[in-house]
Amino acid sequence: MPMQNFSSSDRRRTDRRPLEATGRANFAANLKIVNVGPRGVEVETSDRLMIGADYDLEITSRGEDVQVRGTVVWSRLDRTEETAAGDLRPVYRSGIEAASQSIPGLERLLSHSPSVIDA
């Protein structure tokens, strides 16, 4: 039987979607929220996050701040970017699975975000 190649999105049990949001965390100076789901968050940062490690971050969307604690379940180097000084900076993408106490806050953020139906 041939080995199957599953990407992280194939294993995901819930959908994530883009959300106009900003993120702050003490572990990353330049944290970008890529997408949010009811059970997790995908982030971009120039800092490599350790798989299996727990992190705390704050997501702000539409004037609401949500504290999220979660565990990194995957992380990879996505690309490099050139800084204003001409140096190359790594950009990592990581998937963070939310801890159970963070799930209600993520669900609240998603319920307040506009959907295609609202457009």
State pLDDT tens for residues 68-79: 999 999 999 999
Tell me if 96 sits within 8 A of 47, measured CB to CB: no
CA angle 40, 43, 46 (to 5 degrees): 150
Answering whether pTM is above 0.85, one says no
pLDDT tens for 62-106 read: 888 999 999 999 999 999 999 999 999 999 999 999 999 999 999
Count of positions (residues) in the chain = 119
